[in-house]
Amino acid sequence: MIKYHIIHFVKAFQKKEVIIILEKIINLIYPQVCSICGKLNTKSLCNKCKNKLEKEFEYKTDDYSENSEKNFIEHHYFFKYKDLIRNQLLSYKFQEKPYIYKTISSFLENKQKNFENLKKYDIIIIVPISRKRQKQRGYNQSGLIAKEIAKIISLKIEKNILYKIKNTAPQSSLNKQQREENVKQVYKAKNIEKIKNKKILIFDDIYTTGNTVNECAKTLIEAGIDRNNIGILTIAKD
C-alpha cells in the first residue's frame, strides 16, 4: 500500500530515471509480495493464487437484446462474483487497496484471446462517481482497472461524457428496490457528438442488479445514442 502511494507520487513527476532508481530502493525496503496472499514472491501474483484465479475465470456475454427492461444489448464479464475474486474486489473497493487493480489486470492480459470480441467496440465509458467522492478518494477506483483493460483490448476511454450529478448512498448498502430508486436521474450526459455512432462499452467493477449501468445507458439513450450501440463490461457478475 505504502509502496503503491510512493510510486504514484513519484510518477507524478514523470522523470523516468528517478522512478527506476526509486522503485529499486522501494523494492529493497518493501520486498515484492503476492498482492493476494501476501507471501514473498518475485511477481505481484504467486502461482498458487494465479491458479485459483484461473479456475474462477469464465468470460461470458449475456444477451439482453430482447429484454426491454435493459437499456443495453449485452453484458460481458470475466468472473462470477464469488470466492477469491469477490474477496479481491471487496478489498479493492472498500479497503482502500487500489493496487489490486494491477494484479487483476495483468491476469486478464494473459487471458485476452478469450475476449477478442470486445474489440468490436470503439470506446469505453467508465461509470462516473460524484465529484465529492472523487475528491475524497483522489481517483475513481473503477477507472484504474478500466484503463488497463482498455489497453489490453486497444479501446479508447472517452472521458467527459457521463457525469454523476447527485450524491447517492452506496448501492451495496441498499436492498433491491432501494437500489433502483437510488440511481434514478443521477447521471447527465455531455459532449454526446463525440460518441455518436460509436459502439460503447460502459464499464463498472461489479454487476449486481445492473441498476447503475442500466441508468447510465438510459442517460446515453436519452441523449440520442442508439441502444444497439451500448454494451456493458464488468469484472464480475453477482
Q: Which residues in this chain contact Zn ion in the complex, by CB under 5 A?
A: 34, 36-37, 46, 49
Closest distance to Zn ion from the beta carbon of 89 (Å): 16
How far apart CA 63 and CA 61 sit, in angstroms, is: 6
Task: Choose between 72 and 107: whose C-beta lies nearer to Zn ion.
Answer: 107
To Zn ion, the closest distance from the beta carbon of 49 in angstroms equals 3
Cβ–Cβ under 8 Å, residues 32 and 43: yes
Do the strands 74-80 and 230-237 form a parallel or antiparallel pair, or are they unpaired? Answer: parallel
The CB-of-27 to Zn ion minimum distance in angstroms stands at: 18
Of 31 and 224, which CB lies nearer to Zn ion in the complex structure?
31
Backbone angles phi, psi at 139, to 5 degrees: -160, 165
**CB of 91 closer than 8 Å to CB of 145:** no
Closest separation between CB of residue 88 and Zn ion, Å?
11
Residue 78 exposed, middle or buried by CB count within 10 Å (0-12, 13-18, 19+): buried
Task: Give me the least distance between CB of 47 and Zn ion, in Å please.
Answer: 8
Which of residues 7 and 33 has its CB atom nearest to Zn ion in the complex?
33
- SS3 of residue 67 by DSSP: coil
Using the minimum distance from each CB to Zn ion, give the nearer residue, 34 or 124. 34
Nearer to Zn ion, 36 or 201 (CB): 36
Question: Smallest distance, Å, CB 174 to Zn ion?
Answer: 33
34 vs 129, beta carbon nearer Zn ion: 34
What's the chain's length in residues? 238
Strand boundaries in the chain, DSSP class E: 57-63, 74-80, 123-126, 156-157, 162-164, 187-189, 200-207, 230-237
Q: Nearest to residue 171, comparing CAs of 69, 93, 70, 73?
A: 93
- Most distant CA pair in the chain: distance in Å? 56
